[in-house]
Structure 1
Amino acid sequence: MVDWKVRGIRGATTIAENSVAAIQEGVTELLDEIEAHNQFEGEDIICVFFSATSDLDAIFPAAIARKRPGWNLVPLLDLQQMHVAGSLERCIRILIQVNSPFPQSAMIHRYLRKAKNLRPDLEIVDSVI
């Protein structure tokens, strides 16, 4: 019997400008990368938290995610990141909680664009588990 547990998958990206098109592009790229490197389906997702810096307000990231195949019933929540002086601008972060038979150490976190600097320790070689 496989032991399924709740696991967390993190990620972040930066957005070129505060526009619907730019945010859609960045969120879609981030979710595509996370899905490509982790084995889960929409029904495995418990919930997803998005946070965005206050300079991004053209569209909710969750509205973009909700359009993905299998994500229409996933509980999604958008939050505004705490402002910290000198922190990364136009940044969207994500936390996906999924049921998985894999250990937490097998979860592949994706940090894209300028957000790569947030967690250089999690840089991966492009391989799928």
Structure 2
Amino acid sequence: MVEWQVRGVRGATTVTENTEAAMSDAVHELIAELEAHNLFRPEDIVCAFFTVTDDLDAIFPAAAARKRPGWDHVPLIDVQQMNVKGSLKRCIRILIQINTSVDQSAIVHRYLRQAQILRPDLDVQMS
């Protein structure tokens, strides 16, 4: 019998400019990477949390995510990331909670673009 658990999938990315297009592209790229590496579908998602640094306000990341196939019924929320001196700028982070039978240690977290510096220990290459 398969035991389903709620697991967390983390990721982050950055944008070069505070525009709707740049933020939307970054959100779509990040979600596509997380889906590809973890093989989950929108119906497996419990909810997703987005955070953005205080220098990003062109669009809600959740609004961009809702345009993805199947994501229109996923519970999503946006919040502002804590502003810490010297922290990475123009950064979008995500925490997706999914129902899965995969062990937490097998979950692949993705940190793209400049956000790779946040978790270099989790860097994986696309095959």
Q: Which runs of 5+ in 1 are unaligned?
A: none
Segments ≥4 residues shifted beyond 6 Å:
none
Q: SS of the residue aligned with 1:117?
A: helix
In 1, the alpha carbon distance for the partners of 2:71 and 2:25 equals 17
- Residue 79 of structure 1 corresponds to which residue in structure 2? 79
Percent of aligned pairs with the same amino acid: 65
Q: SS of the residue aligned with 1:93?
A: strand
In 1, the alpha carbon distance for the partners of 2:119 and 2:48 equals 20
Q: Which runs of 5+ in 2 are unaligned?
A: none
Residues 5-24 of structure 1 show CA distances to partners (whole Å, capped at 9, x for unaligned) of: 00000000001100001101
The alpha-carbon deviation at position 123 of structure 1 amounts to: 1.0
Within 5 Å, give how 1:1-129 maps onto structure 2. 1-127=1-127
Residues 29-70 of structure 1 show CA distances to partners (whole Å, capped at 9, x for unaligned) of: 111111111111111100000000010000000001111111
- Give TM-score scaled by structure 1 length: 0.96
In 1, the alpha carbon distance for the partners of 2:35 and 2:107 equals 11
- Give TM-score scaled by structure 2 length: 0.97
The alpha-carbon deviation at position 125 of structure 1 amounts to: 3.5
RMSD of aligned alpha carbons: 0.8
